[in-house]
DNA sequence: TTGTGACTGCTAGTCCGTT
DNA sequence: TAACGGACTAGCAGTCACA
């Protein structure tokens, strides 16, 4: 049972970022290691980001956005979740 | 820094960020010191960001965006430049 | 009012592993 | 496949004196 994705605004930005990264990665159907490889980061570091315990830099955020195929700003906004783009089939 | 992974953009993202921060700050008509004070950062650190020699973290970027009164994503996009940024003058 | 070099403390980010 | 930990190095956060 996948935890219901809630959107908190006073929430820790690192956790929010982690959720977005996770969602986008799953959407691409790739593993943390695959993503880490594409971004040029360590696999454990990507894991930390998704868990919201890391505080990545501007450069890393940008590379992450690129690898995930989303606009950089997307990583800081979290527009997904409720009434999300159900992403038909695939 | 690990594998650079060229970002088609060309220009250094730090410089781009610096330009956006500078523009927004000027738009607010405040000094670097005023901004630094609002963000809770040192004056010289803000200076470094505007000059594009700093690589701030997620948390710093967010505080900066808040103080500048712009959505966080705005700092990573640079929609300014050409076509008028239709900012509904306050 | 801002730019700059140098500095210290801490963490961003890596690499090894186990669960 | 991913969470999690320890130990490590590179680099950022944050500050200062001075231009």
**Nearest residue to D1 via alpha carbon and C1':** A31
Structural domain spans, chain A: 15-77
* C-alpha to C-alpha distance for B6 and B9, rounded to whole angstroms: 8
- Closest Cα of chain A to B1: distance in Å? 9
* C-alpha to C-alpha distance for A68 and A35, rounded to whole angstroms: 8
pLDDT beyond 70 at A61: yes
Contacts of B2 (CB under 8 A, 6+ apart): A40, A41, A42
B11 touches chain A (CB under 8 A): no
DSSP state of A4: P
Report residue B17 as tokens: 């960020």
The region of weakest confidence among A29-33, B13-17, B79-83, B85-89 is B85-89
| pLDDT for residue A76 | 85
| pLDDT for residue A78 | 67
Q: Band of the pLDDT at B9, cuts 50, 70, 90?
A: low
| pLDDT for residue B10 | 80
User: Residue range B62-76: average pLDDT?
Assistant: 92
Strand D, nucleotides < 7 Å from a protein CB: these are 1-6, 10-17
Task: Tell me which of B21 and B89 has the higher pLDDT.
Answer: B21
The whole model's pTM is what? 0.81
User: What CATH architecture does domain B15-77 belong to?
Assistant: Orthogonal Bundle (1.10)
Q: Band of the pLDDT at A34, cuts 50, 70, 90?
A: very high
């Amino acid at each position: 049972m996948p935890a219901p994705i809630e959107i908190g605004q006073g929430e820790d930005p690192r956790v929010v970022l982690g959720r977005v990264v996770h969602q986008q990665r799953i959407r691409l159907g790739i593993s943390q290691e695959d993503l880490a490889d594409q971004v040029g980061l360590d696999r454990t570091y990507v894991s930390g980001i998704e868990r919201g315990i890391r505080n990545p830099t501007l450069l890393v955020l940008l590379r992450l956005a690129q690898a995930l195929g989303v606009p950089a700003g997307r990583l800081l906004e979290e527009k997904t979740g409720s009434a999300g783009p159900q992403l038909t089939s695939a």
